[in-house]
Amino acid sequence: MALIVKKFGGTSVADKDRIFNVANIIVEDYKKGNDVIAVVSAQGDTTDDLIAKAKEINPGNPSKRELDMLLTSGEQISVALLAMAIEKLDCPVISLLGWQAGFNTDSNHGIARIKKIKTDRMKAELAKRNIIIVAGFQGINKYDDLTTLGRGGSDTSAVAIAAALHADCCQIYTDVNGVYTTDPRKVKTAKKLDEITYDEMLELATLGAQVLNNRSVEMAKKYNVELEVLSSLEKSKGTIVRENTKMEKMLIRGVTNDKNVATVSVVGLKDLPGVAFKLFNKLAQYKINLDMILQSIGRGGTKDITFAVSRDQADDAIKAIESLKTLFEYESLHKDDKVSKVSIVGAGMESHPGVAAKMFEALYDADINIRMIASSEIKLSVLIDEENTEKAVQVVHDAFIS
Amino acid sequence: MALIVKKFGGTSVADKDRIFNVANIIVEDYKKGNDVIAVVSAQGDTTDDLIAKAKEINPGNPSKRELDMLLTSGEQISVALLAMAIEKLDCPVISLLGWQAGFNTDSNHGIARIKKIKTDRMKAELAKRNIIIVAGFQGINKYDDLTTLGRGGSDTSAVAIAAALHADCCQIYTDVNGVYTTDPRKVKTAKKLDEITYDEMLELATLGAQVLNNRSVEMAKKYNVELEVLSSLEKSKGTIVRENTKMEKMLIRGVTNDKNVATVSVVGLKDLPGVAFKLFNKLAQYKINLDMILQSIGRGGTKDITFAVSRDQADDAIKAIESLKTLFEYESLHKDDKVSKVSIVGAGMESHPGVAAKMFEALYDADINIRMIASSEIKLSVLIDEENTEKAVQVVHDAFIS
């Protein structure tokens, strides 16, 4: 007998057949004697459809408070339908909206943070041996207004319930059967991971492996909630996400790539004190997130600074720097958005100095030029030409994972 | 400066253009300095679509609790969209779900009764000069579960708010511009009424003029809420419903007809004491609502009893009587569903003995045979052959209203 929290995304409850598929997964665990709480998102494209309705009425910007009022109806429909399916399977069930399940949030409509979960109602329903279906993504603020947790919020809802009720595990059902060493649709030798740490999972998510919402992983780490990422369509073990994983031969957990990258170069910058400070301070004012800063060694009284930003921020970065033209001199500004970032992630790599060398060697052997390098404790990223992305992922993956 | 409660049905908010039409009606009254609370139903066919989704999942019967969870999402969408439209028109507005507006009901899911309206939130929003958009048809029970008030419940929501906040009037917007003396689509000389009493309105509604939900009229009468029935599509005065109307020349408020009628006749019933009691007692057990009972004068030790029921109950009535076969004797049972009921309604008619004679004369002149007669304080109904319905309505209308 365990308390299991399960989360199902919108595609998992998109139509009648899928709803019954999910209902059967829930009922199977319930009938084994477990307590089951399932968190669900709005069906299929419901949220996007509702946003479209709002934009039709007020193309500018409807208030976030009313948008939350509108969007929360989406999960309301899916929890009711899923509960009806479980009733049809003759199991006791009750659906709860976010506020009924006790989700108290702050008042930042659209991106609300959970402040507290009042667990009384959920505990009472579990005591009655009811299966509970909770509307994900939503809560209520202190004024009794409905709020939403932002994109991917249902993952966060599930982890928060698991943390608040000290659940034995939190299973996140997706359309893939676990976390892979790289995208299995592109690299045939990609391997499913049995286990991964929270930090590794966070790096993978940040680097574009969109299996789990980052906030939910951070919360799971904070409250030490064991996650399992698994498929709602096939019956197999998924990937466990926890603090400490068993020693494994595998040093590198995954290889990812991110094409939402551009570089901006400031060439021929007069080499005076404070220039770099002024530059990066201005970029911060423009709320531009930098990555992989590269500064050339000064020669002839000038230097070059290149940095990476997300592609949609590249033009803003250019603007920010141009606004400094009166403050300091440079020869020219360049943008290059034909680049991409390939990264390896693994908690053990910091203590293995050979890792970087092995990655660079694999790229060199494949004739791929490395333009920039960045590293953190558990991650090593290189910037390369975009056209080489798939080849780079393949050769790096082959070098580390076999 | 007045407090005005307005109610808009599902067709009035069915699409973007209609939503803005409603938003403009609300804003116009608000800008005159009035406080405005608008109660809205789910858009167009939303409720029916949601019911269809539920039936797809559980064709038998989904629990009423989950059905209420599902259906209440309908008004949630319409209040949010209407609030967004009013925001677009630059007026301060807030949407409230039934429970946020304070609708506390009993736990009879699907047909819940309002127990109390906690008006704090609405009062606070009015004090901020916010327009309030309230989701009709819904409330919350003492367990914090969502409930619905049943079909036509939005009318009831509007009247309940008007009563609780002592509103100056409660305007019910429909697709007709008021209450007519008879169906204006069928009788060209039909006249719009300026005023009508609650009791007259109730009789008209019962008799098939489906402008206002009966429960809402009963509540308006109980709390003395002045109603106005008017069109959301054309700008004109509607019909006021209140306790005492100004003296008018018009004695009869309206002529209605109801084709959902059948007669059942028990012929040759042995004329013994208690026979009628047993018969009507059994019909009551079968929950059959009777109307217009006619008993022939006993002759030769037998009598005939004929009564009217709604058509869908006629077969049940036959079954109920057949179940008595062992208890008392009769010669035969007959059903006739080719009949209809034509009624005149008017609060003053009881004190005018000529009214019945005038109605019968009009029917006689038109060669229409009267099969049964029933009357109440403010209503006189006759049962006639169905094929004569339209002609009867026309000649009776002409006799009283010109």
3-state secondary structure B255-284: EEEECCCEEEEEEEEECCCCHHHHHHHHHH
Can you give the C-alpha Rg of chain A in angstroms? 24
Name the closest residue on chain B to residue A102, using Cα atoms. Answer: B144
Burial class (CB in 10 A: 0-12, 13-18, 19+), B353: exposed
Identity of the residue in B63, B70, B83 whose CB atom sits nearest the CB atom of A87: B63
Identity of the residue in B65, B70, B81 whose CB atom sits nearest the CB atom of A53: B81
- CA B75 to chain CA centroid, Å, is 20
Q: Do A121 and B100 touch (CB under 8 A)?
A: no
Provide, rounded to the nearest whole percent, the portion of chain B with pLDDT above 90. Answer: 59
Higher pLDDT, B115 or B282: B115
Q: Do B66 and A84 touch (CB under 8 A)?
A: yes
Instruction: Give the global pTM.
Output: 0.81
Nearest to B383 by CA among B254, B268, B291: B291
Q: Do A69 and B80 touch (CB under 8 A)?
A: yes
Side chain identity at B40, as an amino acid letter?
Answer: V
B93 strand-pairing partners:
B131
Q: Do B56 and A94 touch (CB under 8 A)?
A: no
Q: Which helix (H) or strand (E) holds B385?
A: strand B379-385
Q: Do B62 and A84 touch (CB under 8 A)?
A: yes
Residue A225 has a CB neighbour count (10 Å cut-off) of: 26
Q: What DSSP state is assigned to residue A236?
A: S
Q: What is the CATH number of domain A3-174?
A: 3.40.1160.10
> Buried (b) or exposed (e) across B19-44, using 16+ Cβ within 10 A?
bbbbbebbbebbeeeebbbbbbbbbb
In this prediction, residue A9 carries a pLDDT of: 92
Instruction: Please enumerate residues of B whose Cβ is less than 8 A from a Cβ of A.
Output: 16, 19-20, 50, 53-54, 56-58, 60, 62-63, 65-67, 69-70, 72-73, 76-77, 79-81, 83-85, 87-88, 94-95, 97, 100, 121, 144-146
Residue with tokens 């960045």: A374
CB pairs under 8 A between A and B: 107
Residue B311 has a CB neighbour count (10 Å cut-off) of: 14
Task: Quote the CA–CA distance of B277 and B208 in Å, as a whole number.
Answer: 30
pLDDT along chain A (402 residues), means of 10: 94 95 97 97 93 93 94 97 97 98 96 96 98 98 96 92 96 89 85 89 72 87 94 90 70 87 89 79 86 76 87 90 82 92 83 81 91 84 93 92 77
Residue with tokens 């006790």: A102
> Buried (b) or exposed (e) across B176-207, using 16+ Cβ within 10 A?
bbbbbbbbeeebeebbbbebbbbbbbbbbbeb
In this prediction, residue A247 carries a pLDDT of: 52
In this prediction, residue B367 carries a pLDDT of: 92
Best residue in A84, A99, A100, A121 for a mutation probing chain B (most B CBs within 10 Å): A84
Q: What is the ipTM metric for this complex?
A: 0.79
Cβ–Cβ < 8 Å for A238, A31? no
Q: Do B100 and A63 touch (CB under 8 A)?
A: no
Task: Quote the CA–CA distance of B201 and B181 in Å, as a whole number.
Answer: 11
A385 strand-pairing partners:
A339
Average pLDDT, chain B: 90
pLDDT tens-digit map of B119-166? 999 999 999 999 999 999 999 999 999 999 987 899 999 999 999 999
Nearest to B345 by CA among B402, B401, B294, B261: B401
Cβ–Cβ < 8 Å for B82, B40? yes
Q: Do B57 and A145 touch (CB under 8 A)?
A: no
CA distance B152 to chain A (A): 21
Q: Which residues in chain A have Cβ-Cβ distances shorter than 8 Å to B53?
A: 77, 81
Q: What is the CATH number of domain A262-336?
A: 3.30.70.260
In this prediction, residue B60 carries a pLDDT of: 82
Q: Which residues in chain A have Cβ-Cβ distances shorter than 8 Å to B83?
A: 63, 66, 69
Task: Quote the CA–CA distance of A59 and B73 in Å, as a whole number.
Answer: 23
DSSP-derived secondary structure for A165-231: TT-SEEEEEESSSS-BSS-TTT-TT--B-SEEEHHHHHHHHHTT-TTS-HHHHHHHHHHTPPEEEEE
A138 strand-pairing partners:
A148
- CA A211 to chain CA centroid, Å, is 7
CA distance A126 to chain B (A): 15
Q: Do A88 and B19 touch (CB under 8 A)?
A: no
pLDDT tens-digit map of B350-377? 667 778 888 999 999 999 999 888 887 7
Q: Which residues in chain A have Cβ-Cβ distances shorter than 8 Å to B100?
A: 144-145
Task: Quote the CA–CA distance of A6 and B364 in Å, as a whole number.
Answer: 74
Q: Which helix (H) or strand (E) holds B382?
A: strand B379-385
Structure confidence at residue B210 as a pLDDT band (50, 70, 90): low
Q: Which residues in chain A have Cβ-Cβ distances shorter than 8 Å to B79?
A: 69
Q: Please check the confidence at residue B194 and state whether its pLDDT lies above 70.
A: yes
Q: Do A57 and B145 touch (CB under 8 A)?
A: no
Name the closest residue on chain A to residue B84, using Cα atoms. Answer: A62
Identity of the residue in B58, B60, B73 whose CB atom sits nearest the CB atom of A77: B73
Identity of the residue in A16, A56, A73 whose CB atom sits nearest the CB atom of B57: A16
Task: Quote the CA–CA distance of B56 and A15 in Å, as a whole number.
Answer: 10
Instruction: Give domain limits for chain A.
Output: 3-174, 262-336
Q: Which residues in chain B have Cβ-Cβ distances shorter than 8 Å to A146?
A: 97
Task: Quote the CA–CA distance of B111 and B7 in Å, as a whole number.
Answer: 19
Task: Quote the CA–CA distance of A40 and A75 in Å, as a whole number.
Answer: 7
Q: Which residues in chain B have Cβ-Cβ distances shorter than 8 Å to A85?
A: 57-58
Name the closest residue on chain A to residue B54, using Cα atoms. Answer: A81
